Chains A and B, each alone.
Chain A
Amino acid sequence: GAGVSQSPRYKVAKRGQDVALRCDPISGHVSLFWYQQALGQGPEFLTYFQNEAQLDKSGLPSDRFFAERPEGSVSTLKIQRTQQEDSAVYLCASSLDVSQPQHFGDGTRLSIL
């Protein structure tokens, strides 16, 4: 597709369940970022990939959060043993390279009950 695609758009899970969120970046984009956006706040950085290499994961809130991009294209953000405070919109962005503007998907809204 022409833009960054994220799925699912909405995810509801019970506390303690594991969830997986998918991001399809724009074809050919080398850089991929994950952000978390709480209601009424700006997005906050989680992690960054350059091709398949995860170069920065300093924003991941805990070891329950794990991201991968095994073939340098599609990326998955996994959250294990979800907690209520994980409820947020998770945004994925990609760019041609780090010096270019980032293109965002419309996010996955995660609700933990």
Chain B
Amino acid sequence: LAKTTQPISMDSYEGQEVNITCSHNNIATNDYITWYQQFPSQGPRFIIQGYKTKVTNEVASLFIPADRKSSTLSLPRVSLSDTAVYYCLVVRAYSGAGSYQLTFGKGTKLSVIP
């Protein structure tokens, strides 16, 4: 699976929009991009998933350019409770064989400042 690269840490003030960019240069045709959020002492929580263009849900938006070599997670108007580690993952689409484990990097530690 394609290796992902994302910033180690980011700081943001409350109320601002936060964009976390992830690069995945070697993404394959049948891979998609998934983002998870993890708070201390909790398991990772699924945020959003996409294949191309733009995906939006009640929590975040995910922007994926045409070449799919990078993606950007956008969190609108962050609050203190958004302080967490955010993981970008490349996930292999179902192919009828193999395992489907998630491969996590170190993630991006987002600190929201009052």
Asked if chains A and B come from one complex, the reply is yes
Where chain B touches its partner, the secondary structure class is loop
Which one of B94, B103, B105 contacts A45 once the chains associate, using CB atoms below 8 Å? B103
Q: Write the residues of chain B forming the contact surface with A, with a CB cutoff of 8 angstroms.
A: 34, 41-46, 49, 87, 93-94, 98-107
A43 engages B102 (CB within 8 Å)? yes
**Residue count of chain A within 8 Å CB distance of chain B:** 27
| A106 proximity list for chain B (CB < 8 A) | 41-43
Chain A residue numbers with a CB within 8 Å of B106 are 40-42
Contact with B along A76-113 (1 / 0, CB 8 A): 00000000000000010100011101111111000000
Stretch at the interface among A12-20, A51-59, A61-69: A51-59
Known contacts: A31-B100, A48-B99. The answer to whether A101 contacts B46 by CB under 8 A is yes
Q: Given the complex of chains A and B, what is the CA–CA distance between A88 and B106 in angstroms? A: 15
User: Is the Cβ of A44 less than 8 Å from the Cβ of B104?
Assistant: yes
Q: A101 is contacted by which of B42, B49, B107 (Cβ under 8 Å)?
A: B49
Bound-complex Cα distance A87 to B86 (A):
23
A-to-B contact residues, CB < 8 Å:
4, 31, 33, 35, 40-45, 48, 55-56, 58-59, 91, 93, 97-99, 101-107
CB pair B100 A104 closer than 8 Å: no
